[in-house]
Structure formats: structure tokens, C-alpha cells
Structure 1
Amino acid sequence: MGILTFSLNLSLDGCVDHREGIADDETHAFFTNLMNASGAMLWGRVTYEMMESYWPAVARGDVEAPPAIREWAVQLEAKPKYVVSKTRTEFPWTNSHHIAGDLRAGVQQLKDATPAGVLVGSGTLATELDRLDLIDEYVFLVHPRIAGHGPTLYQSGLPSTRRLDLVTATPLRCGAVVMHYRRAQPDT
């Protein structure tokens, strides 16, 4: 069984607006490596549609992009992409698949079938998956910015506090820090 890793950019004040992060070669290389280490991507419909509206054109070369960004797009094009949606059923982007029905069962089945692990990159979906105790690890790229606005991480709340163990903390040249946590094991 693969693990489910939640990964996202966020500011120091918890803002997860994708426009607030530092998008340089180093951060794109980091996310490319993280994506390549996983067996599949998992998104909610809104994140899928945002990604679908831009990255296929970059992968095709229709949009000018630096090498690190083009590399991300090409790798993303080839990666299996799973989408949770109650309102959309057709996902024409290459290697895209719909997860319908019971969220817990569908995502658990995806984890079971993906030994290399699944990378989820949608904040709202991650909150729902966390409520179902399906997230195993968290890899956040914390940017040296205070956005002063939302949306924020877990703004709709969780039923209880999640205790985590630090795996690594790695600073990048741009001042961002990669924070990798694993869910703590219950005290025995």
C-alpha cells in the first residue's frame, strides 16, 4: 500500500493562494522531484481545472517557459492524475481519472493500488481526507511571505488536532523552507 502525502505551497500566515508563492527554478525542481517520487497525483475539481487550463499548453510548448517549469509540465502530463468531483465526470487531460462515489473507499483503493504513493495538492480536498484519517505525510513549502488574506490551510477546521513528527526541514535559496512531517504514531 502506498502512502498519501499532502503537499502545498503556503505563506507564513497559512495562505494557500497559489499566486503568493515564489515560483523559481528551485521551487519547481523541488515539486518536480516530489511528483516524480510519487505514483499518482490527486486533486479536487477546482485544482484540476486550474492545472488543466495551463500545464498541458506548457508541456506542448505552446507557452514559453523556463526549462524547470517546462520539465514540471512534461512530467505532469505523463503522471496519472485522479480527480474527486461530484459535479464533473469527464476529464480529457492525458492520464486523468475520476474518483466518484464514497471518498474514503475511492481514495483508499487508490492508495492500495499505488505502491509509490499518491500526492494530493488540493487544500479543500486534503481537509476532507484528513477528516477521514487518510493522509500519512505532509510536505509543505513554506514561503517567506505574509499574505494577509486567504484562503488559508484548514480554514474549515478539523475535528481534532493532528500530532506530527518532523522528518526533515530543508531551506531553499529563495528563503522558503520545505517542511516534511509524518503523522505521529499514537502513544502506546
Structure 2
Amino acid sequence: MGRLTFSINLTLDGCVDHQEGIADDETHAFFTRLMDEHGAMLWGRVTYEMMEHYWPAVARGEVEGAPPAVREWAVKLQAKPKYVVSATRKDFPWAHSHLVAGGDDLRAGIQALKDATPAGVLLGSGKLATALDRLDLIDEYQLLVHPRIAGHGPTLYQGGLPATRRLTLVSAKPLRCGAVAMHFRRVG
């Protein structure tokens, strides 16, 4: 059975607005390495829709001025299996995209995806992470904490959890830009 790893950019005050992180070659390399280490990507519908028009264009070389690290991420993402949780959308035309039904079957759908993906699944949606953490499905957390205080939301776990999650630190690595890559595993 593969593990489900939640990974996201966040500021010191917990903001997960994708525009608040530092997007440089080193941070893109961090996420490319994470993607390489996992067998599939998992997003909620909103995150998928935010990405589905931009990243395929970068992969095709249609975005002028995309740095090499960004292009590398896009090309690898294009080829990676992508799973999307949605209760409202059924068609996902981006290459290698598949539906995971939301709603009552969410636990079973995600558990089946984990079971079918020995290399693990990389989750990259904040709201979906809250829902999956409530179901005790997240095994690891790979957070890229940026040296910024955004002062606004959305914030990580804004919807709350029923109980505190105990984690153990696996590693912490500072990047040149001042962000810290932190890897945690759930305890128990």
C-alpha cells in the first residue's frame, strides 16, 4: 500500500495562497523531486482547474520565458497520473487525469488509490487535505514554509480538525531563498 503525502507551500502564518510563496528554481526543484518520488498526484477540483490550462501550455513550450525548472516540472506533471476529487465535474481532459468520486465514497476512493499506487500519492490541495485528514488518510506531510507573513487567508486547515494531529519530524532543510522544507510523519 502506498502512502498519501500532503505537500503545500505556506507562509509562517499558515497562508496557502499560491501567490504568496517564493517561486524560484530551487522551490520548483523541490516540488519536482517530490513528484518524482510519488506515483500519482491528487487534487481537489478547484486546484485542478487552477492548473489545467497553464501547466500543459508550459509543457508544450507555449509559455514564453518559462525557466528550465518550471518547464521540467510541467513536462513531468504532464506525464504523471493525476487524480481529481469532485462531486460536480466528470470530465478531465488534461492528459492522464482521472476522477475520484467525492461525497460518501471519498474514504473508499482514496484508500483504493493508495492501495493501487505503491510509490505513493502526492496531495496538493489545502481544502481536500482537511477533508482527508478528518478521515485519517494522510500519512506524511512535506511542507515548504516560506519566510513571509501574509496577513490573509486562505489558511491551512482553516476548516479545523476534530483533534490535534501528532507528528514526528523526519527532516528539515533550509533553502537558499529562506524557505524551509519540512517533512513530517504521523505518529500512531
TM-score, normalised via structure 1 length: 0.98
Task: Give the match for residue 186 of structure 2.
Answer: 183
Task: Give the match for residue 39 of structure 1.
Answer: 39
Instruction: State the distance in 2 between where 1:74 and 1:156 align.
Output: 33
Number of residue pairs matched?
A: 185
Q: Deviations over 1:82-101 (max 9, x none)?
A: 00001100000000000115
Task: Give the match for residue 83 of structure 2.
Answer: 82
Give unmatched runs, 5+ long, in structure 1. Answer: none
Task: Give the match for residue 17 of structure 1.
Answer: 17
Task: Give the match for residue 114 of structure 1.
Answer: 117
Task: Give the match for residue 162 of structure 1.
Answer: 165
Residue correspondence of structure 1 range 40-79 to structure 2 within 5 A: 40-64=40-64, 65-79=66-80
Q: Secondary structure at the match of 2:19?
A: helix
1:98 aligns with 2:99: yes
After TM superposition, the runs of 4+ consecutive aligned structure 1 residues lying more than 4 A away are none
CA-CA distance at 1:53 after TM superposition: 2.0
Instruction: State the distance in 2 between where 1:176 and 1:126 align.
Output: 21
1:142 aligns with 2:145: yes
Task: Give the match for residue 127 of structure 1.
Answer: 130
Identity of aligned residues (%): 81
Instruction: State the distance in 1 between where 2:54 and 2:31 align.
Output: 16
User: Could you say what the CA RMSD is over the residues aligned between the two structures, in angstroms?
Assistant: 0.5
Q: Secondary structure at the match of 2:158?
A: coil
Instruction: State the distance in 1 between where 2:95 and 2:155 align.
Output: 30
Amino acid at match of 1:110: L
CA-CA distance at 1:137 after TM superposition: 0.1
Q: Deviations over 1:144-173 (max 9, x none)?
A: 000000000000100000000000000000
Instruction: State the distance in 1 between where 2:133 and 2:175 align.
Output: 27
Instruction: State the distance in 1 between where 2:128 and 2:153 align.
Output: 16
Amino acid at match of 2:16: V
Instruction: State the distance in 2 between where 1:100 and 1:15 align.
Output: 27
